Amino acid sequence: MDLSRICETRAPMDVRCRPMTDAEGRDVLLVVAKMTWSVSARGQARLAFPIAPVTFFDQPWPDARSGSRRFESIRRASDAVEKKPGTEVILVGTAYPSHPEATEQEVSLRVETGKSSLHKALTVTGPRVWIPSLLGMAPGPAGRMEPTPLTYELAYGGFDDSGEALAFEPRNPAGTGFLERRKSLFGRPAPVIEDKRAPLSSASPAPAGFGPIPPHWSPRRELAGTHDDAWSRERAPIRPLDFDPRHHCCAPSDQWVETPLLGDEAVEVLGATREGAWRFRLPRFAPEFHVTIRGETAVRDTHLDTLLIDADAGAVELTWRIAIPMPRKIDHLEKVLVYGIPPLPDALVTDLAARVYGGGHVEDT
């Protein structure tokens, strides 16, 4: 059946649909809608065209700096998941020094969520190498900082293939600085992205980043459940009973909020734009998913589950989704309509209507 004839959009969004199996083994139709806003340095937001597309595969950074293609981080995570609890906030971009001679810069992300706030800060430095310290090994003095991409390749992690078996940092195998014999780090490049809550000079340094985590890295991997012999015999290919929907959330755990964002929340990004500070409010908008089955139309519940802040592009991407249980006869699923017009100045309404109602982009994969 041609799913492109079922799904239709009457909103300034990219909407794509895909049949898949949910956590209970049921056939569902996944419908994902994404809206893109361009946000100026002064915090003025307007709809962006072209709209960032929904994607059903992980996309790596085009210039990832890993020493090997064996492991690499991703810039965008696949949207091919049927459910994400809460809202995750992802920041991708570049750290900029505050002045030409700076050797380090704090990069921070803050989202005011009403009752509390999401706040995270990391330190980005210029190039440095490992040197001996009282506790073993630590990064030496940093050189002059250049614009630095916020990738996991430049944070603590990596792998060690010098022994009989491959060893790696499961939370970030794409990074640098991981060796089973820490004394062997002497003189090697040290990570330049650091979380001071788990410093590199400590006995237990931790990876640091704002970007998406691949599904096979920790801690996402553990949330996928127990894939043991009992699961293989009794339940496969259905997901394990201890599967946690948080596995679908790709942001670091400290960039996730349990209560979904609604829009109008204040956002602040410091150190990841040339201007230094980037402040704005999320557009307040919620699309409606109208599903028609056997002649009856109902509005399905949804929530904003992914906020991606692209500081390099000066844009934010908002994503919603639903998973529709497939009727016994697929022909009974007649239509899925994604509808909604965000609040706009009157001068933009005519242009928006021409762009959207003249033919929204819907695609099945």
pLDDT at 310: 97
pLDDT at 63: 65
pLDDT at 362: 47
Written as tens digits, the pLDDT of the chain (365 aa) is: 667 678 989 889 999 999 999 999 999 999 999 999 999 999 999 999 889 999 999 998 876 544 455 688 999 999 999 999 999 999 999 999 999 999 999 999 999 987 778 999 999 999 999 999 877 889 999 999 999 999 999 999 999 988 788 899 999 999 999 988 888 889 999 999 999 999 998 888 999 999 999 999 999 999 999 999 999 999 999 999 999 999 999 999 999 999 999 989 999 999 999 999 999 999 888 999 999 999 999 999 999 999 999 999 999 999 999 999 999 888 899 999 999 877 655 444 444 444 554 444 444 44
CA atoms within 13 A on the CB side of 102: 17
pLDDT at 344: 58
pLDDT at 71: 83
pTM of the model: 0.90
Asked if 101 and 266 count as a contact pair (C-beta separation under 8 A), the reply is no
pLDDT at 66: 44
Domain boundaries, the chain: 3-364
